[in-house]
Amino acid sequence: MKQFKTKFLLVVALICVFPTVILNAQDTITVSLSKAIEIAMSESPTIKVANKEIERVNYSIKEKFAAAFPTINAGGSYQRALKKQRMFFSFPGMPANPDGIEVGQDNSFNAGISASMPLISPTLWASLEMTELDSKLVLESARSSKISLINQVSKAYYAILLTQDQYNVFKRSLQNTTENARIIQNKFKQGTISEFEWIRADVQVRNASSNLVSAESAVNMSKLQLKMLMGLEMSVDINVVGNLSEFEKNLYGDVLLIDTTSMQMNTDLNKFDIQSKQLDMALKMQKAAWWPTLAASFNYQYMSMANDGVALKWFPMSTAAVQLNIPLFQGGGRNYKEKQLKIQQSQIKDQRDNLRRSLEMQVLTYLDNIKKSIEKIESNKQGLRQAEKAVSISKKMYEVGSNTYLDLSNSELAYIQAGLMYNQSIFDYLSAKADLEKLLSKDIK
């Protein structure tokens, strides 16, 4: 009976746990750099906001184009005379009329339809041209958001690879120090070394274990950052594949593919160009306000006026008109507005020149950082190989008693530093390359 109860509880536990295991497996997403960017482009709130802004501006353009179509209104009114107007006559030869005569009807009804349409309106036409520039500016802003998100996702992905590689360095260091501590403990038990040396080895193992825990925490934090940029829920687990050393074999080819001779695709410069065209169009609109405007209107109404108790008789009335408006004098306000716009045009030109020089300086800075990072990668790679070899030699020499524990500890510390510097140099290269691509605003599909 006890065995049956035990088996039954085990089956129930498996039934409860199994869906959770399946759910966890489904919630784990394997992520490469291209996959991370793909998910971010579809799930990131930044991109969704940019796409909605494009949709909003498209509706705004249609709204402005609606001003060129006829405007049609229908309406009606009712008026009740509470006190009628009186008419007085005072002509020679007519009897006196001191009380006057009431005129008008008790009730007045009016219903009709009216329409109007601009025929010649230079300001309206110029404003419609401005809407195209507004659309271009929004599209460029959306493109800028995508380029910025790609940069952030790429650097967050590289940061995860950096923390994972650092974790592997500390993990191997822990394995080495644990093995060294085992050897030292055996020697201590045999009485060939002092207890102090065994204590130092044990402390080093605990420090290495603490470093490994910190590295694991750094990996988790960097994954949270990437999930936020990708627009994923924090509960979703991601498995980031790859390591930094995989990018080393293609670094020279990647650098050669970067075209730094032109910044025509830079999104900030493109925004300045569009804003400059907007100022040109605003000046054109301001000058168009000096031109006459012509509008047509049409009105068709049915009216009825009758006293109480009298049958209504409706009669139509319609009018068609053309209105010409010629601006003559506005107190000089338009002239001053034109002068302001011309000053703004000069300002934005100077600002663009300053931005262009700043971008050129950043390009040179990123190129220098890439060059220095490549040199560091080559040097640190050789240093890491030497450090790994030194750890192995130092361990063998300590086993045979040819060196001290301090030499063994120093070789282990040198290995950790070499591994961290090697990974950091690759990360610096990838980060500088990502920033350079963002600055050049490489076109995205």
pLDDT value at residue 19: 43
* Nearest-angstrom CA–CA distance, 304 and 314: 5
DSSP state for residue 78 in the 8-state scheme: E
Which single residue is written with the structure tokens 């160009």?
A: 273
Contact 111, 75 (CB under 8 A): yes
Superfamily of domain 63-78+103-162+183-193+242-440: Outer membrane efflux proteins (OEP) (1.20.1600.10)
Going by DSSP bridges, is the β-strand pair 237-240/28-31 parallel, antiparallel, or unpaired? parallel
DSSP state for residue 250 in the 8-state scheme: G
pLDDT per position as a tens digit, 302-342: 998 888 877 778 889 999 999 998 888 777 788 888 889 89
Contact 435, 366 (CB under 8 A): yes
pLDDT along the chain (445 residues), means of 10: 47 46 58 91 90 89 85 92 80 68 86 91 85 89 92 94 93 89 86 85 90 93 93 90 85 72 84 91 86 91 86 87 86 84 91 92 91 91 92 85 81 91 93 91 62
Residues contacting residue 321 through CB under 8 Å, at least 6 positions apart: 296, 297, 298, 299
* Nearest-angstrom CA–CA distance, 143 and 442: 10
Of 338, 322, 318, nearest to 330 by C-alpha is: 338
Contact 432, 255 (CB under 8 A): no
pLDDT value at residue 103: 82
What are the boundaries of each domain within the chain?
63-78+103-162+183-193+242-440
* Nearest-angstrom CA–CA distance, 105 and 80: 8
pLDDT value at residue 125: 84
The reported pTM is 0.78
Q: Is 262 helix (H, G, I), strand (E, B) or coil?
A: coil
Q: Is 161 helix (H, G, I), strand (E, B) or coil?
A: helix
Q: How far is residue 262 from each of residues 137, 239, 349, 352, 433, measured CA to CA in Å?
A: 21, 38, 19, 15, 16
pLDDT value at residue 321: 92
At 337, list the tokens: 């507005």
Of 244, 253, 255, nearest to 384 by C-alpha is: 244
* Nearest-angstrom CA–CA distance, 286 and 338: 7
Contact 305, 109 (CB under 8 A): yes
Query: What angle, rounded to 10 degrees, do the helices at 122-190 and 333-399 form?
Result: 10
pLDDT value at residue 5: 45
Contact 205, 408 (CB under 8 A): no
Going by DSSP bridges, is the β-strand pair 293-306/85-87 parallel, antiparallel, or unpaired? unpaired
pLDDT value at residue 35: 92
* Nearest-angstrom CA–CA distance, 124 and 133: 15
Which single residue is written with the structure tokens 């924090």?
A: 234
Residues contacting residue 233 through CB under 8 Å, at least 6 positions apart: 227
